[in-house]
Structure 1
Amino acid sequence: MEQLWLVFVVCVLVTAFPSGAFQLNKQKLHRPLASLSSSLVGSDEKIDKAVETNSSEKNEKTAVLLCPAQFCVPADYEVLMSLLKKENPSISTCKVTPLPRTEWIKVAKQLPTKPFLDASLSCYKTLDWYFDAMEQALSQIFAEEGNDVKICIVGHSIGGWVARAYLGGLSGSSTAVYRLAQKQISSFITLGTPHSSPDSALVDQTRGLLKEVERSSSCSSQALADRGIDLTCVGSSGLSGKIFTSDLEEIVAATSYFPLIGSIGENVRGDGIIPEDLAFMEEPARRITIEKCYETGSPVRHAHVLPTPWNLWDGEAPSIPLPDDFVWYGSNSVVGEWSKFIC
């Protein structure tokens, strides 16, 4: 569900359709970066002035930018956004990176390349569209809340390591929004994000992207913490990955865990998609493992929806919701475990 290799498979299928089939959402597929407010930044001098102001006049507000999982859309996180504001009164604006699922088609340009075959793709060339969408949302936050607002980045699944790449400078961006954001991002939280690609993995599903993030010194936990960013990684140990079981969820978990770490069994646990062992950055990042919902005893799962990569005619339509009793990181009874670290 959240493995990047699936995107490449979908893109291959997309190329088999007539070229006109995807013109229905042409305007959604090509969204220009939002124009910056004149109150935000218009020059390097304004950036410097904004940073100086921040050092003397503290803004206690915190805005949240959520970076979504693969094929998930902003509509999938509306309930979570409301919960965050309810849980943490210091939160002002909550935004989701504006990515329709159709944007994932853009990875198709990497399919015939040598870096794809060699598993040496670069974040800069492959995920530029994701980084652009992040900056679109960041520019809106600054325009609404002011240049001195603090920002918490929350990354769900793949969105966590994409955001980590952005924080560490792997986007290659040098825009005014990027430079201001690097000063104002005060906390970073990941939910069910794979932070490493171990040698035991059967296949590099991100084709080198995650390894680039993992090996970059500027993306390391220590480097980000040294910049004053509070780091929290949230994982689950709710579901074991087993083949010989009557529990369908455990079978599905096994099919996800095995390619990622090369092993399954009662002791290999995670959120049903991401093994617990991969969900954490190194120290000094805070580690939170949530096994079950304290109210219902239900295991904490990776997501609350089934992303629908085949629905490319309406790229912003909500994903297929899972039953209400499926608990995930953003459920009402779980979100308080990590939202208290938004600062």
Structure 2
Amino acid sequence: MPLPIVILPGYLESAIAYRQLEQSLQQLDFPTVTVPLRRRDWLPTIGRRPVTSILQQLDQTIKYILRQYNTTQINLIGHSAGGWISRIYMGEKPYLAGGNVKPFLWEGHPLVATFITLGTPHISQERWTRSNLNFVTNNYPGAFYKNVRYVCVAGKTIFGERRPGSWLAYNSYQLTCGKGNTWGDGITPIEAAHLEGAENLVIQGVRHSPRSPGIWYGSPEPLKAWVQYLI
């Protein structure tokens, strides 16, 4: 049987939005569960505050799945912010993003066989997320753990321009990588979604979020491009 999969939702997103992706992976015989987040679970992380509460739920879900399936590893999928949060989870440095908060340490990389990020902004110029992302980039640059297979998926769908229909993409790309006139999924530019040393993919026509109109990374057709990397 293939290794079970744990999905970590994107910022301000709930597990419900990933139900279709869960079902698609289950139909391919991958036991799959999404970290059971609700939108309000993200509220403690707003404003440069640590994402510790999300990491704790990720850890609880992974440990539960390991016990349930009597296995030593899982495949981990992080959508959007869920990707860089997962990189903190895999790490070996005490996590403290700011304030008088006790550092936490998970050292989760031995538990992860394949790690897939979908539209994850691995870099940011935006002041609210920069402290967390700097922690990740400085401590775990690129595809850091050689025992983990990193697959980073980007979308080439909307070119950011200062005109109607492209303003949101332009502003989001600008905040993420410092350049608005570039390609991405409407939120995350391609250059921010890839990591050095990873297997980096670009999928045409996918939008960033499971709630976006049209297709996103987890829709049946785009899924075929990255599911082959799972074991």
TM-score normalised per structure 2:
0.88
Q: Distance in 2 between the 1:133 and 1:82 partners?
A: 21
User: Within the alignment, does 1:328 sit opposite 2:211 as a pair?
Assistant: no
Q: Distance in 1 between the 2:2 and 2:199 partners?
A: 22
Once superposed, what is the RMSD of the aligned Cα atoms? 2.0
Q: Distance in 1 between the 2:220 and 2:135 partners?
A: 35
Which letter does structure 1 place at the counterpart of 2:162?
A: I
C-alpha distance after superposition, 1:121-162 (max 9, x if no partner) = 7xxxx111011101111122022101x343011000000000
Q: Distance in 1 between the 2:178 and 2:62 partners?
A: 38
Which letter does structure 2 place at the counterpart of 1:329?
A: Y
5 Å-filtered alignment, 1:120-139, equals 126-139=50-63
Residue aligning to 2:172 = 256
Secondary structure of 2:206 counterpart: coil
Secondary structure of 1:205 counterpart: helix
5 Å-filtered alignment, 1:61-80, equals 61-80=2-21
- Structure with the greater relative contact order (CA < 8 A, sep ≥ 6): 1 or 2? 1
Percent identity, aligned pairs only?
A: 26
Residue aligning to 2:203 = 290
- 4+ residue segments displaced more than 4 Å: 170-174
Secondary structure of 1:143 counterpart: helix
Q: Structure 1 residue 173: deviation in Å?
A: 4.5
Secondary structure of 2:129 counterpart: coil
Which letter does structure 1 place at the counterpart of 2:195?
A: M
User: Within the alignment, does 1:102 sit opposite 2:40 as a pair?
Assistant: yes
- Of 258, 274, 282, which aligns to 2:188? 274
Q: Distance in 2 between the 1:234 and 1:222 partners?
A: 13
User: Within the alignment, does 1:165 sit opposite 2:88 as a pair?
Assistant: yes
The answer on whether the counterparts of 1:256 and 1:274 sit within 8 Å (CA) in structure 2 is: yes
Q: Structure 1 residue 195: deviation in Å?
A: 1.1
Q: Structure 1 residue 221: deviation in Å?
A: 3.5
Which letter does structure 2 place at the counterpart of 1:269?
A: W
C-alpha distance after superposition, 1:241-285 (max 9, x if no partner) = 0113x5x2x2221121122233333xx1100000111001111x1
Secondary structure of 1:334 counterpart: helix
5 Å-filtered alignment, 1:121-270, equals 126-146=50-70, 148-170=71-93, 171=95, 173=104, 178=106, 181-197=108-124, 201=125, 203-216=126-139, 219-225=140-146, 228-244=147-163, 246=164, 248=165, 250-265=166-181, 268-270=182-184
5 Å-filtered alignment, 1:10-29, equals none
Residue aligning to 2:27 = 86
Q: Distance in 1 between the 2:177 and 2:141 partners?
A: 21
Q: Structure 1 residue 223: deviation in Å?
A: 3.2
Q: Distance in 1 between the 2:11 and 2:215 partners?
A: 19
Q: Structure 1 residue 101: deviation in Å?
A: 1.3
Secondary structure of 1:154 counterpart: strand
Q: Structure 1 residue 66: deviation in Å?
A: 0.6
Q: Distance in 2 between the 1:338 and 1:149 partners?
A: 23
Residue aligning to 1:24 = none
Q: Structure 1 residue 97: deviation in Å?
A: 1.2
Gaps of 5+ in 2: 96-102
Which letter does structure 2 place at the counterpart of 1:339?
A: V
The answer on whether the counterparts of 1:61 and 1:149 sit within 8 Å (CA) in structure 2 is: no
Secondary structure of 1:62 counterpart: coil
The answer on whether the counterparts of 2:206 and 2:217 sit within 8 Å (CA) in structure 1 is: yes
The answer on whether the counterparts of 2:18 and 2:210 sit within 8 Å (CA) in structure 1 is: no
Give the direction of change, closer, same or farther, for the CA distance of 1:195–1:86 in structure 2 (3 Å limit).
same
C-alpha distance after superposition, 1:201-237 (max 9, x if no partner) = 4x43304110110110xx2335312xx2111000012
The answer on whether the counterparts of 1:239 and 1:253 sit within 8 Å (CA) in structure 2 is: yes
Name the larger-Rg structure.
1
